[in-house]
Structure 1
């Protein structure tokens, strides 16, 4: 299936083994233990646009539990805020919810202008 979709630009140019290894690595990097110290040390305004759709390969409420952990990050670090929660999943957020992303960028840019 990947070979059929590749010319459309909807898939990566990686082999199935590379995709699997990449997903395993993302799981390690995105763990609370690994990511929390990084997020806690962000010293500039950051905004999240959170996808709410089900992710490919997710089981049960796995993605929603991950997304819920963002609230704790926002409580610990006032520089980080959730700008919007959108209906798309992480694979389609740029295509379907680009307006929310643009609004978040504008919000951070306005904060930057206000600091000058």
Structure 2
């Protein structure tokens, strides 16, 4: 996949995420994000960080949405490199479920 194709897919994914905003705002169960802070293939000029910030207003309106961790990986390597942070986010959710 070329860098351009990869960037186009990332943009489309963020547009789809934005379309989910009403659903995310109404979510009544906890949701945890592990956010990749690295630049993705084909990104330039801090595009990834700008796209990540689109979640901030939704998170501000719904306390069920929380960032569990922000890791150094990019979106292509987060599962491989930061699986421990993902596992910790899952443990956070499991603990909340046991408490309820």
Per the normalisation by structure 2, the TM-score is 0.84
Higher-RCO chain (CA-CA 8 Å, sequence separation at least 6): 2
What is the Cα-based RMSD across aligned positions, in Å?
2.0
In structure 2, the residue matched to 1:26 is 13
For structure 2, list consecutive stretches of 5 or more residues without a partner in the other structure.
Answer: none
User: How many residue pairs align between the two structures?
Assistant: 96
Q: Deviations over 1:31-80 (max 9, x none)?
A: x3x13112112111000000000011113111101112222221100101
Which has the higher Rg, Structure 1 or Structure 2? 1
Structure 1 stretches of 4+ with a deviation exceeding 3 A read none
Alpha carbons 2:14, 2:51 under 8 Å: kept = no
Matches within 5 A, 1:33-52: 34-52=19-37
CA shift in 2, pair 1:114/1:38, >3 Å? same
